[in-house]
A and B are shown apart, each in its own frame.
Chain A
Amino acid sequence: MEMMIDFTEGFSHGHVIWGWMIGVYLVLAGMSGGALIVALVRRHYSKNKENTGLLKGAAIIGFSTIAFGMVFLVADLHRPLYFWKILINYNFTSVMSIGVAAISLYIPLTLMVFLMALEEEIKDFFQTKIKISFVHTMLTIVINILKRFRPYIEFITIFFAIVICAYTGFLISVLIRFPLLNTAVLPILFLVSGLAAGVAATRLLTAGYYRVNPSTFDEGLLHRIEWPVMFLEILLIAMLIVSLVLGNDYQKEAMAAFDVTRSQWAYLFWGGVVGVGFGVPLSLNFLFGHKVAHSSFTMYASGISTLLGVLSLRLFLLYGGQTFGIH
């Protein structure tokens, strides 16, 4: 039976409710988790237990991006001054509540990893740059205690880094009004694109460091991991599209988000995600020969393009998804 009575007007009046601030937060959270997953898994399987440039870079990104992400998360609230209510009222059927619980554990963990990975630099800073012996002594004590539990702390951090990446996907994949978001691949897509962003950010940050302290392995690892991650990302986006194309009427309708004649957000996908995010790194590295592929321009350009691609993907899904909901 066709619906005999239904309504098409809603109280959002076609506006996108969750906008760019949520999108930026999703990228920062993914970048934080992705960077730490790569660096800590690498450390776990490596005999080299020194604080490598890769680990230092990832530790800086891991802590700073998630902390900065909180600014956007709170700023997006309509009652930002009451954000603390979320810390004292838990509802464990809510992905947001579960996410807040995970973040409350994850941020201290990233700080611990940061303190251990940059031990020498931090101590040096308070000894020679700003001479505060009290802070220096306290930090030394704290870091020495932390180091006794280092393998456990790092293992739990890997676990929570995966949780953070995946939860950002679940956060919006539960929204049944939006077929583009309400898919099973979103959490894993966000984990994989979080890895891509984390690797790109770590590479950009450590490029200068590696010019001074060459480590062919770590630097090569970041370069080698880039392509399988991108391949997985493309595969997952293809799966998402196929599931919509072959889906029910609601899902087919949501495909309009990819259609440039019907959706302005389609430009963000084809230009930002496909063109900049995948096209620029692939062509710079494989189309113009050995010299271009190994230039530092290509390194910086691919890294920045990857980050822009990941940002475009999150923004496209949010805006395109919310524009073509069921109604």
Chain B
Amino acid sequence: MALATGGYALSSEEKRRVEPKQHLSMIYDQTKCVGCAECESACHSVNLVPAAQNRMIIQDRTDPDNVKARRFVRVSCQQCEEAPCVAVCPTAACHKDSLLDVVTMNGDDCIGCAYCIVACPYDVRFINEETNMAENCDFCLETRLKKGLQPGCVEACKYDALVFGDMNDPKSTISRILSIKDTVRQRPELGTKPSLRYVPAVKQGV
């Protein structure tokens, strides 16, 4: 094999680098979410997050003047392409995974300075009170993604309110949904290029 290609065959590692990178992302569909918070429980059990803390939550955003139209929203790491947390981390403990390009942590190098916590404009990072290391939703990178599984919250959602996949792959479910549904990002004006996409519920009543 090496002979046939003059020694220029790409290893699988090199191929990954040459081929267009994945852009892993998630859609949160407000029209489908009922606020059951089973995603939160799944996240806790998969990622062993301390009981008093969260990597993701579902916030109730129901308008008190219109309680019949229940509204929820997912609060979690927006997986920014221009992530301020990655930019400010003095030890590069907060980084993008070299293979899957997901913002994640190398806890061993984290000194707990909390610079990433204050730098995140979405306030969705925290210092784990048990490990004293900073943490964020990294789509269950180590606990599930690298085993070929979907993030815990996505699997736990019974209402298909969460869709996870590669936005750079035109055949993926997430790309197909994005091509037909209107979605928004959280505060894109901040210049962080957030990856998460939200389908807003706009219908107010009959």
Q: Using a CB–CB distance below 8 Å, which chain A residues touch chain B?
A: 3-12, 17-18, 76-80, 82-83, 85-86, 89-91, 93-97, 100, 172, 174-178, 322, 325-327
- Does the CB pair A11–B124 fall under 8 Å? yes
Q: Is the CB of A89 within 8 A of B186?
A: no
Shortest Cβ distance from residue B53 to the other chain A in the assembled complex, whole angstroms: 7
Given contacts A17-B114, A18-B118, A78-B112, contact A11 B90 (CB under 8 A): no
* A77 near B113: Cβ-Cβ < 8 Å: yes
B54-66 interface bits toward A, Cβ cutoff 8 Å, 1 = contact, 0 = none: 1001010100000
**Given the complex, which residues of A lie within 8 Å of B140, measured CB to CB?**
none
Interface residue B2 (Cβ < 8 Å from any Cβ of A): no
Interface residues of B in 91-150 (CB under 8 A from A): 91-93, 109-115, 117-127, 132-133
B54, B118, B190 pick with most chain A CB within 10 angstroms? B118
Q: Are A177 and B121 in contact (CB under 8 A)?
A: yes
Tell whether B164 is near chain A: CB-to-CB under 8 Å: no
Is B123 in contact with A176, judged by CB distance below 8 angstroms? no
Q: Can you list 20 A-B contacts with CB-CB less than 8 angstroms, sorted by A residue number?
A: A4-B184, A5-B30, A6-B61, A7-B59, A7-B61, A7-B74, A10-B123, A80-B111, A85-B91, A86-B90, A86-B111, A90-B90, A91-B92, A93-B86, A93-B88, A94-B115, A174-B88, A176-B119, A177-B120, A322-B118
A79→B93 CA distance, assembly (Å): 13
The distance from the CB of B194 to the nearest CB of chain A, in whole angstroms, is 12
Contact B133 A79 (CB under 8 A): yes
A45 to chain B, nearest CB (A): 37
Residues of B near A9 (CB, < 8 A) are 57, 59, 75
Max chain A Cβ within 10 angstroms of own Cβ: one of B53, B57, B121: B121
B121–A79 contact, CB under 8 A? no
Residues of B participating in the A interface, judged by any CB pair closer than 8 Å:
30, 53-54, 57, 59, 61, 71, 73-75, 84, 86-93, 109-115, 117-127, 132-133, 184, 186-187, 190-191, 198, 200-202
- Do B73 and A175 touch (CB < 8 A)? no
- CB atoms of A12 and B121 under 8 A apart: no
**What's the Cα separation between A86 and B61 when bound, in Å?**
40
Contact status A83-B111, CB under 8 Å: yes
Which one of A18, A93, A177 has the greatest number of beta carbons of chain B within 10 Å?
A177
Residues of chain A contacted by B92 (CB below 8 angstroms): 89-91
In the complex, residue of chain A having the shortest beta-carbon distance to the beta carbon of B123: A10
Q: How far is the CB of A26 from chain B (nearest CB, A)?
A: 14
Within the complex, what minimum Cβ distance (angstroms) separates A77 from chain B? 5
Partner of A100, one of B88, B90, B123: B90
B43 to chain A, nearest CB (A): 13
Please determine whether A96 and B120 come into contact, CB atoms closer than 8 angstroms.
no
Q: Which 3 A-B pairs have the closest CB atoms?
A: A78-B112, A10-B123, A5-B200
A97 closest partner in B (C-beta): B90
Whether A94 contacts B87 by the Cβ 8 Å rule is yes
Q: Which residues of A contact B127 (CB under 8 A)?
A: 78
Chain B interface, DSSP helix/strand/loop, else mixed: loop
Contacts of B121 in A (CB 8 A): 176-177, 326
Chain A residues closer than 8 Å to B190, beta-carbon distance: 176
Nearest Cβ in chain B — how far from A250, in angstroms? Answer: 10
B201 cross-chain contacts in A, Cβ below 8 A:
5
B202 and A4 contact, CB distance less than 8 A: yes
Question: A325 CA to B74 CA in the complex, in Å?
Answer: 20
Name the residue of chain A whose CB is nearest to the CB of B183.
A5
New A-B pairs, 16, CB < 8 Å, besides A77-B111, A85-B91, A91-B90: A6-B187, A7-B59, A11-B75, A12-B126, A17-B117, A17-B118, A86-B90, A86-B113, A93-B88, A95-B88, A96-B88, A175-B119, A177-B120, A177-B123, A322-B118, A327-B123
> Which residues of A lie under 8 Å from residue B88 when comparing CB positions?
93-96, 174
Enumerate chain B residues within 8 angstroms of A7, measured Cβ to Cβ: 59, 61, 73-75, 186
Beta-carbon contact of A94 and B30 below 8 Å = no
How far is A326 from B202 in the complex, measured between Cα atoms in Å? 24
| A27 vs B115: C-alpha distance when bound (angstroms) | 18
B89, B122, B133: the one within 8 Å of A91 (CB): B89
Chain A residues with CB below 8 A from B93, complex form: 85, 89
Q: For the complex, what is the distance from the CA of A100 to the CA of B92, rounded to whole Å? A: 14
Closest to A178 in B: B118
Chain A residues lying within 8 Å of B111, measured Cβ to Cβ, are 77-80, 82-83, 85-86
Q: CB-CB < 8 A to B89: which residues of A?
A: 91, 94
List residues of chain B with CB within 8 A of the CB of A18.
Answer: 114, 118
Residues of A within 8 A of B191 (CB): 176
Closest to B126 in A: A11
Which residues of chain A are within 8 angstroms of B133 by Cβ–Cβ distance? Answer: 78-79
